[in-house]
Homo-oligomer: A and B are copies of this chain.
Amino acid sequence: MAKVVTLGEIMLRLSTPGHQRFVQSNSFDIVYGGGEANVAVSLANYGHEAYFVSKLPKHEIGQSAVDALRKYGVHTNFIARGGDRVGIYYLETGASMRASKVIYDRADSAIALADVKDFDFDAIFKDADWFHWSGITPAISKNGAALTKAACIAAKKHGVKVSVDLNYRKKLWTPAEAQSVMRDLMQYVDVCIGNEEDAELTLGFKPKGVDVTKGHLDLDAYKAIFKEMAETFNFEMVATSLRESFSATHNGWSVLLFDGKEFHHSKRYEINPIIDRVGGGDSFSGGLIHGLLTRKPKEAVEFAAAASALKHTIQGDFNLVSEQEVEALAGGDASGRVQR
């Protein structure tokens, strides 16, 4: 199995139970999660040595985030300890035509204020096989951007394959700010993951004929973009999930990969009901990395699609599925018959 490193922020997620609205809830369910942490958990679940790199306060809320990762087998020894805050996001889970809502309270978290010196990137990337980061990490702060660049450089120095999930967050930066940072970082990237919005906002590409709020998919448009992206940024591969949003609890789901030569479009899943769609994209990244590490692109795509479809049925940010469960779904059994 591979050594995989991810870098980013893990946040305290405070979600209302069931479908309660924020103003009516008297308790929050606690989960810890964040794009790159979610990917690390996926990879640990598939049997890899997954290392999550971040910074967390020494107090018990910081420790609880560490514990959440250790519980699922992610290595936490490269997490720097210090700072004051664990970033928070509040989540209200929608239903039917009522969308889920996220309120972020992540400014000045320990990782946003972390310094490159907090991390020994040579130790981190020694013998590593893969490094994954997302567009959120450079967006959280200048320090985050510096960390990401330092990590990318170190990864490349150690011959590590690098993937990015573009993941534009409008609350964190403007498209102009994003592009000024992200375009530069693309030089280190081998596998680029991003949906149509992210590609446009963080890299300046504009997908044609794709209206994401309508839930229609224009596969040809994607292909054109992907090919152009691969050429422009010298990406080895480009991939995205393709979400069709019918309602907060009913989506269509498939994934697309351009492997430099061919396009692979996975099976399409009808997800209804959705239990928790947060982390759906991360579960795709995790599934894709595992797929690309262990099988051919065509199979990797099916693995990634099935893994991320399954995520939508699981509470919390983490995709708590085994390789075997993903393979069973990718292999065709979506009948949901009780497994005794």
- A residues with a Cβ closer than 8 A to B are 14, 17-30, 59-61, 63-64, 67-68, 70-73, 84-86, 88, 90, 92, 94-105, 107-108, 169-171, 212-215, 245-250, 269, 271-275, 277-278, 309-310, 312-316, 320, 325, 329, 333-340
Set B70, B71, B98, B336: member contacting A310, Cβ < 8 A: B98
How far, in whole Å, are A274 and B213 apart by their CA atoms in the complex? 22
Cβ of A67 to closest chain B Cβ, rounded Å: 5
Q: Which of B71, B98, B315 contacts A67 (CB 8 A)?
A: B71
**Least Cβ distance of A97 to chain B in Å?**
4
Q: Which of B67, B103, B213, B214 contacts A72 (CB 8 A)?
A: B67
Given contacts A97-B334, A101-B338, contact A27 B24 (CB under 8 A): no
Q: Given A171-B340, A335-B247: A64 and B22 within 8 A (CB)?
A: yes
Contacts of A30 in B (CB 8 A): 25-28
**Shortest Cβ distance from residue A273 to the other chain B in the assembled complex, whole angstroms:** 6
CB distance from A44 to the nearest CB of B (A): 10
CA distance A335 to B61 in the complex (A): 24
Contact of A20 (CB < 8 Å), options: B108, B277, B315: B315
Whether B273 lies near A273 (C-beta < 8 A) is yes
CA gap between A111 and B17 in the complex, in Å: 28
User: Which B residue's beta carbon lies closest to that of A318?
Assistant: B24
In the assembled complex, the Cα of A206 lies from the Cα of B167 at a distance in Å of 53
Of A27, A169, A277, the most chain B CB neighbours within 10 A belong to A27
* Complex contact B245–A98 (CB within 8 A): no
How many Å from the CB of A75 to the closest CB on chain B? Answer: 11
A27-B30, A98-B310, A102-B340 are known contacts. Are A250 and B272 too (CB-CB below 8 A)?
yes
Q: Say how far A220's CB is from chain B's closest CB, in angstroms.
A: 22
Of B21, B171, B247, which one neighbours A60 at CB under 8 angstroms? B21
CB distance from A172 to the nearest CB of B (A): 10
Q: Which residues of B contact A71 (CB under 8 A)?
A: 67-68, 70-71
The CA of A110 and the CA of B262, in the complex, are separated in Å by 49
* Chain B residues, CB < 8 A from A98: 310, 313-314, 325, 329, 336
A101 — nearest CB in chain B belongs to which residue?
B339
| B residues less than 8 Å from A329 (CB atoms) | 97-98
Known contacts A19-B313, A274-B96, A335 near B215 by CB under 8 Å: yes
By beta carbon, the residue of chain B nearest A338 is B100
Given contacts A314-B98, A336-B245, whether A103 and B61 have CB atoms under 8 Å apart is yes
Instruction: Tell me the nearest residue of chain B to A86, going by C-beta.
Output: B105
Given contacts A67-B71, A247-B272, 8 further A-B pairs with CB under 8 A are A19-B315, A67-B72, A71-B71, A96-B272, A97-B336, A212-B337, A246-B335, A249-B272
Residues of B close to A85: CB separation below 8 A: 105, 107
Q: Give every chain B residue within 8 A of A170 (Cβ-Cβ).
A: 340
Q: How far is the CA of A28 from the CA of B315 in the complex (A)?
A: 16
On chain B, the residues within 8 Å of A246 by CB distance are 335-336
Interface pair B24/A103, CB less than 8 Å apart: no
Given contacts A27-B29, A71-B67, contact A99 B338 (CB under 8 A): yes
